[in-house]
């Protein structure tokens, strides 16, 4: 079954985590190369960084890895507004990437934000960012 790296509202305790209850958690603490942005829509967008950097070197986006069924993967595609690879109406592109999780390295799907990238703060952990932002309000 496919593995998916989640970094935003699908993480444990976040707004869409209920959907991940049907999946098996493979790694509660994992990271990939990239940066996150606040899309202004209540969820983050992943912006990937140069892929030749070793996976254990910063910048690292924090997330979790789940083993999902094909039907759940199809549902996640709809949630993330991924139609098919390279489709001009995609909000996110589903790509395979290297994920570092504790002592193991995994290959997993991740959703990369491909819509117009707003000028906003860059960060690496959606939960920490959201809590900090909410405390500032």
What does the domain layout of the chain look like in residue ranges? 3-136
Does the annotation count 84 as an active-site position? no
Across the chain, what does the average pLDDT equal?
A: 89
Q: Kindly report which listed range (32-36, 71-75, 116-120, 127-131) carries the lowest average pLDDT score.
A: 116-120
**Residue 100, strand partner residues:** 31, 105
Q: What is the pLDDT of residue 57?
A: 55
pTM value surpassing 0.85: yes
What tokens appear for 57 in the block?
A: 């070197």
Domain formed by 3-136, architecture? Roll (3.10)
Neighbours of 51 (CB within 10 A): 11
Indicate the Cα dihedral angle 35, 70, 105, 19, nearest 10°: 50
**pLDDT for the residue numbered 51:** 53
Mean pLDDT, to the nearest integer, of 33-47? 91
- Which positions ≥6 away from 111 have C-beta within 8 Å? 46, 76, 80, 82, 92, 93, 94
Q: Out of 12, 41, 80, 119, pick the active-site residue.
A: 80
């Amino acid at each position: 079954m496919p593995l998916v790296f989640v970094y935003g509202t699908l993480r444990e305790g976040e707004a869409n985590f209920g959907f991940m209850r049907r999946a098996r958690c493979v790694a509660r603490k994992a990271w990939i190369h990239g940066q996150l942005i606040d899309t202004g829509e209540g969820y983050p967008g992943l912006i990937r960084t140069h892929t030749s950097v070793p996976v254990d070197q910063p910048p690292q986006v924090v997330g979790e890895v789940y083993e999902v069924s094909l039907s759940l993967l199809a549902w996640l595609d709809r949630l993330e507004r991924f139609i098919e690879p390279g489709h001009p109406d995609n909000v996110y592109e589903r790509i395979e990437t290297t994920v570092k999780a504790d002592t193991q390295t995994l290959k997993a799907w991740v959703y990369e934000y491909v819509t117009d990238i707003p000028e906003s703060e860059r960060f690496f952990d959606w939960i920490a960012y959201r809590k900090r932002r909410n405390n500032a309000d």
